[in-house]
Structure 1
Amino acid sequence: MKRWIAGRPARWAMAISALAGMAALPADAADDRKGVPRQAAGAVQTAQAAPTFRFAIPAQPLPRAIAALSAQTGIQVLYTAEQPFAATARAVEGTYTPAEALGLMLRGTGLGYRFLRADAVTLEPLPAATPGVVSLPGVSVEGRDSAAYRVRSATTATKTDTPIAKVPASVQVVPRAVLDDQQVLRIDEALRNVPGTVFVDGGEGKSIFSRGFAASVYRDGALRTEFTDGDSSATDLDAYNVERIEVLKGPASVLYGRGNPGGAVNIVTKRPLTTPAYEGRLVVGSNNLMRQQIDLTGALDPARHFAYRLNAVHETADSFRDEVTSRKVAVSPAFQWSPHGGTTVVLDGEIVNMRQTPDVGIPRQGNGPLAGVPIDRFLGEPTDRFRNRKEQARLSLDHDFNGATNLRTSVLYSNTRNDDWYTRGAAVQADGRTLNRTIIDSGFEFEDLGWQADLTHKVVIAGMEHTFLVGAELAKRKTVSIFDSAAAAPIDIFQPVYGNTAPTAAFSRFRQETDRWQAGLYVQDQIELMRGLTLVLGGRFDHVDQKRTSPGAPLPKKEDQAFSPRAGIVWQPIEPVSLYATYARSFTPVNAFPLSAGGQILEAEKADLYEAGIKLDLLGGRLSGTLAGYQIKRSNVNTPDLENPGFQVSEGEQESKGVEVSLSGEVLPGWKVIAGYAYTDARITAAANNTKGKRPAGIPEHTASLWSTYELQAGPLAGLGFGGGAVYVDDRFGTSANDFTVGGYTRVDAAVYYRGEGYTLRLNVNNLFDREYYLNPTRTPFLLPGAPRSFLLSLQANF
């Protein structure tokens, strides 16, 4: 018996639109990747310019998703088998032709589609190769709406394509549209949109904190270990090749192993597309900023089995700070091979060369800067430099066996080298104007080799749908650290004279090599107990070996083992409302330095999360919001050993409790918003020194952000848009002893832009009211000023 999903009678324009997704299919009738006979391929070549529809169809049972698509497009969809009733459609969000939308919806269901006529399509199970039936390759989504502020699904929290509404955790996504509208150049600028996320800046780079604790950074699901292992300068990551940023709040060790308890910041990069697209962008700005970047993608062969993507950026800039400059070149190529339906192989990489001036700021006096010192005063040397070179390559495989079982595996190699030579301020002499200084000559090299594999399988057991995930990970990291320092000539703070760079004493020298091996095995089950009720259970076992080598020093070794569980539940009493609760644990092996008084590496840190919240879909799904309350308890924290100065003990404890609110989406056509607020009550609950009961350094109690844009939708000025927003950061203590306070601030930004045919012109003004403020310090005698009013003007061309 045929079951019909009826739709409105379609116009011929809709019929052409329905065929557009087949226009690029190969002409070979034997090609099982697309399954289109020779005559069908030739019949659709005129559909390249077909009209499209803007879809916002959430992941849901397939029959309901098909009904929504049919109602919007007028295309009738019919099927004969029972299979669609057991399948779940993927979310379709963005601008597509009906055929493209249907293809995305059916990915992973084991179903293909065949057009019977211009306004009717049938669904059929996918055998090995059926002429005329379109099978669905496992490639990246090509039609994601580049203007959307709301993202319905994210992979970071579960490593599966799960709607955020069904994830028992707080997940925030900063999509490409927000990065473009705010003209974000670096990752730290993007994370202003994530409530409760702040940065502690030590002059050589920024460390990311979330919910009062350090967060771990990942690229496409792989841990960027330079963040975890102390290379804070690496947080100045460029956003040139970023598609979106997904932030999972709280411990994430159940899927990712060792990591910080503040959360997982996953940087999702741009993937190759088979549809040709070429973008160039020129940016000019304050302080002699000049930036050029390209984004090129498309198929490499007529059959579209091979595709590429090339992102590159070149940037030079000075600073509002005297003598501070930066130079950067980065290239990120990617090649994709889709030999047949369901299989995708991607080889991608990145090369980054960067040079910048280290800058720790200006001396502090009380809770503010030393009186009379302007914010542009630089107290290092013009010849100071920080050089960073990073090389990375990854080979990944994604294979869909039958729509219910999927394998993803990858091998990653990366090498990061830092070379520093700079003059760092120390203490101010008694005269109040002479600054003692130290010369730092240091270098770090991080070499990583890793392998990951994830196998997912969907099955119905006793009437309940299970999504099983089994994964394994092996990783090896070698770190070489060189740190030499010597006293340098002092400098007059109020009348600096540069050029005296010779050390005034012999260098003290430090050498260390650290080897770490890690193995992890994890499982997860997402169980749909009944309609609207989902249970998520998971656990991971990790084994970590560390060995330290240092000339003339002991050679400590350390083995850590840990089990990291997670349990969560989501209840949707009605479709737009999700109530959730979760528990999770993190596992963070301590680096091989510092050591205990006995010469041993310290015990691994652990943290436990308890969280509950509510997620809402508002205004018919155009707007989404999350309200979350949490408590994180961290144990085995390093704290000074009072009986053995210079050493550490694992006796510290910290706790953070708080509430977070976030909102993102489209209020009305053309009016988009992303906003958030966080209350963070972070405390040191146990310590060997006198910091018990105090707040951790650099963590504000209140933070908030708002960004909104409006674009005219019709009339002669259609495409003209305006935007603006504000960031609020509360007072922060400068040290864990809470002996001085860095004042809070509110910074206002604004933008105006025009989207023309094939181009976009943008003007952004940051710190519109020229507010003087200071960033979070880690070099406690100093404060690093935030940038005064600045502008960015860009021209983007698309072909």
Structure 2
Amino acid sequence: MRHLFCSALLISGCLPGVALAQSNPHHHENEQHRKAVGTVTGRVLLADGQPAEQVSVRIKGSERGTVTAADGSFVLRAPAGWQAIAVTCLGCVGQEVAVEVRPGQTAEVPPFTLARGEQQLSEVTVTGAKSLNQRTPSAGKMPIAPLDNPQATLTIERPVLEQQQALRLSDVLANVAGVYVMGATGGTQEEIASRGFAYSSANTFKNGVRYNNGIMPEVSSLERMEVLKGSAAILYGNVAAGGILNLVTKKPQFERGGSVGLRLGSYGFVKPQFDVYGAVGESQRVAYRLNGTWERADSYRDGVSSNRVYVNPSVLFRLTPKTELIVEGDYLRDNRTPDFGIGTVDYQVSESRSRFLNTADATNATNQTSATATLTTRLSNSWQLRAVGAFQRYANELKSASRPTANVIKPGRNYGNWLRSLQRTETGENYYLAQLDLTGTFRTGGIGHTLLVGADADQYNTNTLTYTTQAYDSVNILNPDRQLGRPKATASGYDALRYNTRTLGNTRRAGFYAQDLLSLTSNLKLLAGLRWSYQETPSDVYTYPAAPAAANGPATVRENRRYDQAFSPRVGLVFQPVKTTALFASYSNSFAPQANTVTDNQGGSLPPSLIDQFEVGIKNDLFKGALSANVTAYHIVNNNQAQTIQQYLGNGLNPSYNPNFPSAQELAGQVTSKGVEVDVQSRPVNGISFIAGYSYNNTAYTRSTLYTDGSRLRYNPAHTANLSLFYSFANVFANNGWLRGLSVGATGYYVGDRLAGRNPRLLYDKDGKLLTDTNKYLSLPNYVLFDASVGYAYERFSVRVKMANLLNELSYNVHDDNSVNPIAPRTFAATLSYKL
């Protein structure tokens, strides 16, 4: 017998059998009716101080009621006079407060804090508390419901991660249509993209703060993953057009609890993990959470291994009833063998899963530390102020053989022979962020407003050291055991490499933004906003002498400076013919600054590329919210993409070409991305829950002097599809204490037509004759991943067994033509856990 804590019980937000009429503060009553009613506002909190969403609030003795919003607030129209406002949810103590409602005025009631009820319930399991269109992503910065947002959003919650035993971010992304892994350079990271655009570190966030995605993030610490598809430039400035990811880690709780677990798997995989939380002592003002894990594994790849440690502490301070501070940090140390895959010969992959081409002493060592402080204060029931300060330290040292590329390995007498070289780099990065957001709701006449006004500033200090590259030996990529000899002049190893260049960067950015959701009528809403961004990108490149006698001596320096600014507008319209369906259309704009090394034909800087995005879609909550089905179509155009100025065109000498700047670029390219995405999610109904999705994308050059019109950009699958189905036998064996803990599940993920390699170019001689380019596409095989799992829970113990890639499909994640990494074969994993 257990108490059922209210924070886990927001499935319906109200007691069974109570039908509530949703109040609508934006409804246009006639003037006579207005005189007879007023407005009651307030806020509902959970016992740990977090907002309580979807909790029922009603006028006692009537059918008039509403549910709380994402920030726990509510607005309720009430008849004039003294009224009893009742707040109820299953498993918590109902609360009431008396308030005098004056005609045409607003009465604010003190915040409700939900306490645990005394009712004893037997082994109740609660999952899937909200539908897809009821989860407001915190990355959106505004307390607006997804049905009111003219943008495709998606949230994957913790129960799904546990059901699927997600280990890497790619496992989580398999539940999101149109967001995919585009490569795995060196086997040390997962390169992610959406709608034809890569997610750099500027597009990946943790708790709303950018983080360096050169390392694989730890999934065991996540409470949920949020996806904002399409442009988010108005909120975050310089981000790619495809969308952003926000990883939300587990938060402190005042209720004591936690878990310990052990995961074992194929190829020597071992991963113990823990998670504990509770109040500090008997305090009702300070709570903590600490979770962490250690992981080590070998690999299906010969000679590859990994070892990582992760710790994620956080503390919540309830400073006042309306103000709280969360301080979060994490530390990740990841050491693994760099692995650039199996190589290609003339842009052809020779099938293999295990062939390893790096040196035995190659290493990739990464340390990442972060700290974030978030202060939130409610100025009133309608206005909130949020301030964020953050710091992140990223350090990486890579010692590796160079990448085997298709353009240096040719068919013929020495088929597959490769001259292997050694390389070494050291990278350090300090990142700082300050952010301030003011959000609130108000009315002007008959129009309701949900307003966001904010500002942010961040800074990257980077220090990148490269060493000289030296020939090491010769091997055959098809038979690495066949060593062909070591060059006579080779160095003895990585430690003998000399300094080559050191680049010091100091990127500084600032932005101001405002966004307003206008409720024009009860079913017509307009979202409009604008951001101004400013960015400085100075860097100093130090080049060390090449002569051995002067190794690591004084260096020459070249200074680079860039100053960019841009406006990012956004406008969207939402029409809701019924409360559970929303049709939307939107336009947004984002920008992409050029690299410091990019110049025009006079040596000057090129302005940023501007990207226009158009999006239309429909969002549906069906069967009383049990099923959500959303469809989105998009059209993205980069009208001024930077591309290299060619010396010759089809009609002879290119007048834009300047021999003094042979690598100069111009804004003469156009890239268009268009596609459709379908996302379907259910809440658990009779033990069944599922997630499904489909995406189609075509990203191609639609105007270029360098590439043929219609040439597809690499890495982007034309089609993806996903399906996850889980079933709990709790209902079937409700009276059987042993069998009711049984559950089964299956997931499928399809990745269709993809291209890698290098886009063939249009190259001409001085007479305008088209030459044959050495660049070629590399076609990758489609594949379907099919996983199956069985779980069993009894009292505090649970075990889940998973078989991944049951069909043993073979395909590859490829970057260019030089990091061809096979996907994992059929593997086994089992997780045993115990709730504290």
How big is each residue's C-alpha offset from its partner over 1:414-442, in whole Å with a ceiling of 9 and x where there is no partner? 11011100112433364224222221100
**Aligned partners of 1:617 and 1:213: how far apart in 2?**
29
Moved more, 704-713 or 691-700: 691-700
The DSSP-based 3-state class of the residue aligned with 2:234 is helix
The DSSP-based 3-state class of the residue aligned with 2:707 is coil
Q: Give the corresponding residue for 1:748.
A: 786
Following superposition, the deviation at residue 166 of structure 1 comes to 1.3
Residue 394 (1) aligns with residue 389 (2): no
Q: Which of 624, 632, 635 matches 1:631?
A: 635
How big is each residue's C-alpha offset from its partner over 1:553-606, in whole Å with a ceiling of 9 and x where there is no partner? 531211111110101111111111111111111122233245556555543222
Following superposition, the deviation at residue 119 of structure 1 comes to 7.2
**Aligned partners of 1:525 and 1:674: how far apart in 2?**
32
Following superposition, the deviation at residue 53 of structure 1 comes to 7.4
Q: Which of 806, 810, 813 matches 1:768?
A: 806
Aligned alpha-carbon RMSD (Å) = 3.6
Residue 675 (1) aligns with residue 631 (2): no
1:153/1:421 CA distance change after superposition, 3 Å: same
1:125/1:175 CA distance change after superposition, 3 Å: farther
Q: Give the corresponding residue for 1:659.
A: 676
Following superposition, the deviation at residue 108 of structure 1 comes to 3.1
Q: Give me the TM-score of the superposition, normalised by structure 2.
A: 0.80
Residue 578 (1) aligns with residue 582 (2): yes
**Aligned partners of 2:151 and 2:807: how far apart in 1?**
37
**Aligned partners of 1:764 and 1:450: how far apart in 2?**
40
Q: Which of 177, 185, 189 matches 1:195?
A: 177
**Aligned partners of 1:385 and 1:478: how far apart in 2?**
24
Residue identity over aligned pairs, in percent, reads 27
**Aligned partners of 1:95 and 1:786: how far apart in 2?**
47
Amino acid at match of 1:55: S
Q: Which of 737, 746, 771 matches 1:724?
A: 746
Q: Give the corresponding residue for 2:759.
A: 736
Q: Give the corresponding residue for 1:28.
A: none
**Aligned partners of 1:149 and 1:314: how far apart in 2?**
32
Q: Give the corresponding residue for 1:685.
A: 702
Residue 516 (1) aligns with residue 496 (2): no
Contact 1:299 1:307 survives alignment (8 Å): yes
Contact 2:140 2:235 survives alignment (8 Å): yes
1:600/1:446 CA distance change after superposition, 3 Å: farther
The DSSP-based 3-state class of the residue aligned with 1:713 is coil
Contact 1:149 1:665 survives alignment (8 Å): no
Q: Give the corresponding residue for 1:122.
A: 97
Contact 1:347 1:396 survives alignment (8 Å): yes
Q: Which of 165, 189, 196 matches 1:205?
A: 189
Contact 1:317 1:325 survives alignment (8 Å): yes
How big is each residue's C-alpha offset from its partner over 1:59-109, in whole Å with a ceiling of 9 and x where there is no partner? xxx973599xxxxxxxxxxxx98333899998845999xx9x988889334
The DSSP-based 3-state class of the residue aligned with 2:784 is strand
Amino acid at match of 1:638: A
Residue 221 (1) aligns with residue 232 (2): no
Contact 2:127 2:684 survives alignment (8 Å): no
1:123/1:617 CA distance change after superposition, 3 Å: farther
The DSSP-based 3-state class of the residue aligned with 1:180 is helix
Q: Give the corresponding residue for 2:612.
A: 608
Q: Which of 346, 350, 353 matches 2:333?
A: 353
How big is each residue's C-alpha offset from its partner over 1:314-336, in whole Å with a ceiling of 9 and x where there is no partner? 10011100011111101111111
Alignment of 1:518-597 (within 5 A): 518-551=509-542, 552-596=556-600
**Aligned partners of 1:433 and 1:342: how far apart in 2?**
68
Residue 419 (1) aligns with residue 397 (2): yes
Contact 1:336 1:346 survives alignment (8 Å): yes
Amino acid at match of 1:542: S
Amino acid at match of 2:237: G
**Aligned partners of 1:297 and 1:146: how far apart in 2?**
20
Amino acid at match of 1:221: G
Q: Give me the TM-score of the superposition, normalised by structure 1.
A: 0.83
Contact 1:752 1:764 survives alignment (8 Å): yes
Contact 1:149 1:178 survives alignment (8 Å): no
Task: Give 5+ residue unaligned stretches, structure 2.
Answer: 25-35, 46-50, 61-65, 77-83, 102-108, 116-123, 492-496, 543-555, 648-660, 761-775
The DSSP-based 3-state class of the residue aligned with 1:513 is strand
Following superposition, the deviation at residue 469 of structure 1 comes to 0.9
How big is each residue's C-alpha offset from its partner over 1:634-660, in whole Å with a ceiling of 9 and x where there is no partner? 244332333455454443221101111
**Aligned partners of 2:797 and 2:56: how far apart in 1?**
18
Q: Which of 106, 111, 116 matches 1:135?
A: 111
Moved more, 664-673 or 612-621: 664-673
Q: Give the corresponding residue for 2:40.
A: 84
Following superposition, the deviation at residue 543 of structure 1 comes to 0.8
Q: Which has the larger radius of gyration?
A: 2
**Aligned partners of 1:245 and 1:704: how far apart in 2?**
19
Residue 504 (1) aligns with residue 485 (2): no
Q: Give the corresponding residue for 2:551.
A: none
Following superposition, the deviation at residue 302 of structure 1 comes to 2.6
Amino acid at match of 1:428: I
**Aligned partners of 2:498 and 2:788: how far apart in 1?**
48
**Aligned partners of 1:658 and 1:378: how far apart in 2?**
37
**Aligned partners of 1:260 and 1:120: how far apart in 2?**
47
Following superposition, the deviation at residue 763 of structure 1 comes to 0.8
Q: Give the corresponding residue for 2:470.
A: 486
Contact 1:712 1:720 survives alignment (8 Å): yes
The DSSP-based 3-state class of the residue aligned with 2:812 is coil
1:418/1:670 CA distance change after superposition, 3 Å: same
**Aligned partners of 1:114 and 1:590: how far apart in 2?**
57
How big is each residue's C-alpha offset from its partner over 1:172-221, in whole Å with a ceiling of 9 and x where there is no partner? 11111111111111222211211111222222423211011123111112
**Aligned partners of 1:681 and 1:554: how far apart in 2?**
40
**Aligned partners of 1:375 and 1:362: how far apart in 2?**
8
Amino acid at match of 2:111: S
Q: Give the corresponding residue for 1:35.
A: none
Contact 1:348 1:395 survives alignment (8 Å): yes
Alignment of 1:231-630 (within 5 A): 233-234=214-215, 236-365=216-345, 368-370=348-350, 374-426=352-404, 427-428=408-409, 430=412, 431-484=414-467, 485-493=469-477, 494-496=479-481, 504=490, 509-551=500-542, 552-596=556-600, 598-630=602-634
1:299/1:745 CA distance change after superposition, 3 Å: same
Contact 2:43 2:111 survives alignment (8 Å): no
Task: Give 5+ residue unaligned stretches, structure 1.
Answer: 1-12, 23-50, 68-79, 127-132, 228-232
Amino acid at match of 1:586: S
**Aligned partners of 2:527 and 2:615: how far apart in 1?**
14
1:657/1:324 CA distance change after superposition, 3 Å: same
Amino acid at match of 2:38: E
Residue 154 (1) aligns with residue 139 (2): no
Contact 1:556 1:600 survives alignment (8 Å): no
1:441/1:144 CA distance change after superposition, 3 Å: farther
Contact 2:362 2:401 survives alignment (8 Å): yes
The DSSP-based 3-state class of the residue aligned with 2:174 is helix
Residue 713 (1) aligns with residue 713 (2): no
1:367/1:331 CA distance change after superposition, 3 Å: same
Count the aligned residue pairs. 719
How big is each residue's C-alpha offset from its partner over 1:675-718, in whole Å with a ceiling of 9 and x where there is no partner? 11001011112334234320001111111111111111231321
Amino acid at match of 2:474: P
The DSSP-based 3-state class of the residue aligned with 1:165 is helix
The DSSP-based 3-state class of the residue aligned with 1:310 is strand
Q: Which of 172, 184, 193 matches 2:166?
A: 184
**Aligned partners of 2:357 and 2:239: how far apart in 1?**
36
Q: Which of 793, 798, 823 matches 1:786?
A: 823
Following superposition, the deviation at residue 148 of structure 1 comes to 4.8
**Aligned partners of 2:516 and 2:125: how far apart in 1?**
28
**Aligned partners of 1:500 and 1:415: how far apart in 2?**
39
The DSSP-based 3-state class of the residue aligned with 1:188 is helix
1:287/1:488 CA distance change after superposition, 3 Å: same
